[in-house]
Chain A
Amino acid sequence: MKLIIAIVQDEYATNVIKSLMSNKYRTTKLSSTGGFLKSGNTTLLIGVENGEVDHVIELIRAECKEDKGLKEKNGVEVGAANIFVLNMANFMKL
């Protein structure tokens, strides 16, 4: 069981969530702020089985592909998404 924490630019977040939902991945959306640019972004918590990690990452990559001309924010090159995959000791649905 893995927890994927994806920190995504707001502009891409809605598409990413739509795509995850249509692929039956449940996700929790947190609104967050970037430390450097102090600009808003979105943090997604996605709990998945081990085998599904790569699929989810591909979905996110696909959504972040089309260049919305957002690679530059006040002169700073900005990535679309920053993803951490964490190992999960236990996962329960109550």
Chain B
Amino acid sequence: MKLIIAIVQDQDVPGLLDDLTEHEYRVTKLASTGGFLKAGNTTLLIGVEDEEVEDVIGIVEDNCKTREITTSLLTVSMPGDAYMPYPLEVKVGGATLFVIDVEKHIKI
């Protein structure tokens, strides 16, 4: 038994949830916040049998494409008087997955 913790972008979640549910994987969704961009994202807890891990990773991959967005890091302590938003190419989307061994799984 494995517990997959997937941290994905909010916009990818609806499609991913439907896809996972279609394949009868049970998912728990937690609201979370990213450290770097301070943007909201979603953490999913997916409990699966060992042999299903690859399949779930495939599903997550299909739904969470990495893509580029231009954003500007609004730093308050900008030197000098003129305030120039500094455009920044940042990669978003994608998913971070942790696969953890589960010792015991009990359903009540």
Contact = CB atoms under 8 A, between A and B. Distances in A.
- B is bound to A: yes
Interface of A: 2, 5, 7, 30-36, 38, 41, 43, 53, 57, 60-61, 64, 79-87
Contact of A60 (B3, B21, B108): B108
A54 B105 CA distance: 12
By DSSP majority rule, is chain B's interface helix, strand, loop, or mixed?
Answer: strand
Interface residues of B, number: 24
A5 B107 contact: no
B74 interface: no
Contacts of B26: 35-36, 82
Contacts of A61: 108
Interface of B: 1, 3, 17, 20-21, 25-31, 44-45, 47, 100-108
Contact of A35 (B20, B102, B106): B20
A85 B17 contact: no
A35 B28 contact: yes
B108 A83 contact: yes
A66 B69 CA distance: 51
B59 to A, nearest CB: 12
B89 to A, nearest CB: 33
Contacts of B21: 35-36
A79 B108 contact: yes
B47 A32 contact: no
Interchain residue pairs A-B with the least CB separation, the first 3: A35-B27, A85-B104, A33-B29
8 contacts: A5-B45, A30-B30, A32-B28, A32-B30, A35-B29, A36-B26, A38-B17, A41-B28
Given A5-B45, A64-B108, A43 B30 contact: yes
B103 A87 contact: yes
B28 A84 contact: no
